Structure 1
């Protein structure tokens, strides 16, 4: 999805197929697209790692790791994308499923749970998972960064769904990343090899606390040796860098059709609710992503939304059909 040539190819296909014109401004890498008497400027975004953390930037810098595509507007923010509690309220009002939450300063969760910072992003500000009725471990300051809340931990497949306005058009489904036991190597040795595949070092791996919490949740220690064929998952956050081979594939990984077949009207229900929410602040459609978990019964548990995620190459056809008529 973040291979620049895929974006150029998708843009070129639409431009040539619709008798349009597109001009790239090398000073800022924006693109002006003209078609049917209208024109729009498309603004780029880049995936970057700054101070060891994944982020998105509007300009090409030395920190950039991948191209994030173009949008017909500059980066925007919405209160529901920066405050998870507000998005939870939106889900409740719309009658959409979301994991239960608790104020951990007042009650100990009676379900398995994770701790989330209300304003965390890119998988940061997360602790756990922890077992039901277990108190918050000592050393976690739950009042910092606007406060933490406990959220019910729902196992399943990680989802990210892209919407243009009310229309869902692109999706990822990911299993929790896992290691497979061989009866010889320790869990830590298997993790070291897996992290090395992502061009990182286990010794200074920033995500180690979450990884160890996931193993502890399953009753597994770093020096344990898993019997051959036994797997252990070690993260539950979408998009973390645990590839078996580094880099992306030029083949589309859009899973919107199989996801829709598994979930019925749930994607459309969220789209309609999102459109009603965002139209209060923005008169035109926006490109929005919503994270969730797909459980074993085919139910989506919605988690949070983002107004400035990476743009998949498939987005241009969807956006331009709307923008140019």
Structure 2
């Protein structure tokens, strides 16, 4: 049954048919999660959860422009300060402490300490794991760990929705916006398939990594940090497949919950095209739901 659901999910979300029948490390990890959750499932939320945003930040040495990196982070953190629900924390992990972080006690800077043998340009996964270890020691007893890229902007009601719905499993963002730095071009991301089964390449989580919140519970009978340990560093393009195999049943947030910011010079890749002009109706929604984009106060 689980393999049939996996196949249907792949047919729905994969851009290419190559690898539809493949099986590898990600699938094996998913089954291990499924097995580990058996004795502590379903999780039980208790109503005092918090959302903890895990933010890996590029170091000064590798940043194309450190000042721009800090400005983008300030906007991202400003979007958290603008949240309609105040029960959140943010942990920023980097080799260098960024300037101009909002003076908010819920925001923590965590110096990145590379382990022996950890080298290479992409150290975001190692930073996420260090943040998770910090949550294990110092974070709230239970809540949701959310991986947030340091340049993206959450909807002002994202924390409130997660904590009011509080399903004790996790959430996957399928709706949102891709916004060009010129604040004129962009795309509305969501379900836009012509057929019931495929192809859902326009969903938010297929395009952006700031799309996943997973439940954790450090009480003696809880599930611990197993979901964060195993899923926060998973490729965002495969999260739908992985959650099916793990029998996790991640829920979608029922509104455009994140702005994926592009073409600001810090996250570009060769050949990235300018998206089309975004329709005025979307800008009105963005102005209401994402005030941090227009104000960093």
Q: Normalising to structure 2: TM-score of the pair?
A: 0.27
The one of the two structures with greater contact order (alpha-carbon pairs below 8 A, sep at least 6) is 2
Q: Normalising to structure 1: TM-score of the pair?
A: 0.26
Instruction: Say which structure is richer in helix.
Output: 2
Instruction: Say which structure is richer in strand.
Output: 1
